[in-house]
Amino acid sequence: MIVNRQQSRWAMGTGVTSAIALVVYIVYSVTTPNGPRGGTFMGLFFASLGTGIIVFECILGLRKRYPASRLGKVKTWLKAHTWLGLISFLLILLHSGFRWGHGLAGALMWIFAIIVASGIFGVVLQNYIPRRMTELVTRETIFEQIPTVIRGLRIEADERVEFVTADLGLEEEDPEYVHAGGVKQYFDPAQKKSAAEKVQAVVERRKSSPQIELEETAREALRAHYLQEIRPFLTDRPISVSRQLFGARESVGAYFGHLRTIMPVAAHPLLRDLEEMCEERRQLMVQKKLHLLLHTWLLVHVPLSFALLVLTAVHAVLSLRY
């Protein structure tokens, strides 16, 4: 959720509601001889309001599961979730008389504080990371597709390096999946067979002998650089040495600048392509990191919210019992 001027009414509403609640609390605490407590009428009033909002906060997931529901826009629900969540914490503090509590009550306060803190952290991240990702990751892809894209980069790099080194002796499994770009259709089976044979012939020629003439030493040097440093980076989980070697755009540029210096000019087009692929892989690495940062807080925020709901119910019943 992006916090911008469009939410000024929500912010103002939250501020006014909080101010009213505080004024009511001050009057209540001044007029109560023994000070504010959770078990008084006003304490229970604040608790009821706070708990009601907590329940509302928890059904946001349900609302998202039914996007076509007529119960208001999801966007509105999300705004309400954010701003009412802040009010609910204040109401619970008013309920407890700004005491943290002991035992179950103390645990509830800690859990609630963590939930609120993680929520605020999440809102801050949502306002910062997408913008930052646009700046840093120009080759962004769908998060779940990152392994597939990396595999495609690796296969493409292998094929291109084989233009210099011939067969690298690497076998890549070819899992079946539905390509998003579609598949070329042949209405004539003979035509399809002919096309496949042509592709196979090209592959065989590339693997059988180098297609770009280089000195033997340069060829071996390129093979070594590729197998030991570049290809390990084009995997799902590159080793730390590779991550450090290609950790920044400047590092990638410097590495391939050095290779172009020591390699003959005939290998330069290949090196430019490899550099481009390494840069894309690096950006995917950054994307993954930012994506996890953007969503990992939910692993704390959401499960703890439901645990809070259970504990709150028990706290309410047992506190009223005693």
Partner 1 sequence: MAKEEKPLEYQHRIRETKGVAQRLDLDYLKRPAVLAVLRARLIWILVGAAALACVPLVLGIGGTKRTLSNGPLSRAHGVFEGRCEVCHSQAFRAIPDASCERCHDGAAHPSKPIDTAKSNVTPACVQCHVEHRGKVLLAEVVSGNCTSCHANLTSHATGVKLRATEVTAFREGKHPEFSPAGRRDLRPMQLNHAAHMPKEPITIRGMKLPMKCDDCHVMDRNSADYAMLPVTFDKNCKSCHSRELQFDVYQSLGPDAPPSPHTKDAKLIQEIVANTYRDALARNSALLIRPLGRDLTPQPSAAAWLERVTKESLDYLFEKKCTYCHRAESYAVMMKIAPIAGRFPEPTPWLQRGEFSHRAHRAVECDSCHSTARASTKTEDVLIPTMKTCLPCHGDSRASLDRCSECHRYHNRTIEREKERRPTEKLVGLLRLPNSHSGGSQ
Binding site for partner 1 (CB under 8 A): 32-35, 37-38, 99, 101-105, 107, 141-145, 148-149, 152, 156, 160, 163, 177-182, 202, 205-206, 211-213, 269-270, 272-273, 276-277, 292, 295-296, 298-299, 302-304, 306-307, 310-311, 314, 318-322
CA distance 136 to 156: 24
Contact by Cβ (8 Å): 266, 213: yes
Contact by Cβ (8 Å): 262, 254: no
State the minimum distance, in angstroms, from the CB of residue 6 to partner 1: 28
State the minimum distance, in angstroms, from the CB of residue 301 to partner 1: 9
Give the pair of three-digit tokens for residue 38. Answer: 């959770």
State the minimum distance, in angstroms, from the CB of residue 67 to partner 1: 15
CA distance 274 to 72: 50
Q: Which is nearer to partner 1, 144 or 173 (CB)?
A: 144
CA distance 34 to 192: 89
What Cα–Cα distance (Å) separates residue 18 from each residue in 41, 43, 92? 19, 16, 12
Q: Which is nearer to partner 1, 85 or 162 (CB)?
A: 162
CA distance 146 to 234: 11
State the minimum distance, in angstroms, from the CB of residue 103 to partner 1: 3
Q: Supply the DSSP symbol for 234.
A: T
Q: Which is nearer to partner 1, 4 or 103 (CB)?
A: 103
Q: Which is nearer to partner 1, 80 or 166 (CB)?
A: 166
- Within 13 Å and on the Cβ side, how many CA atoms surround 81? 24
Give the pair of three-digit tokens for residue 257. Answer: 């600048």
Q: Does residue 67 sit in helix, strand or coil?
A: coil
Residue type, 177: Y
Q: Which is nearer to partner 1, 111 or 227 (CB)?
A: 111
State the minimum distance, in angstroms, from the CB of residue 10 to partner 1: 26
Q: Does residue 96 sit in helix, strand or coil?
A: helix
State the minimum distance, in angstroms, from the CB of residue 8 to partner 1: 31
What Cα–Cα distance (Å) separates residue 116 from each residue in 70, 110, 121, 122, 124? 28, 10, 8, 10, 12
CA distance 137 to 114: 31
State the minimum distance, in angstroms, from the CB of residue 184 to partner 1: 10
State the minimum distance, in angstroms, from the CB of residue 292 to partner 1: 8
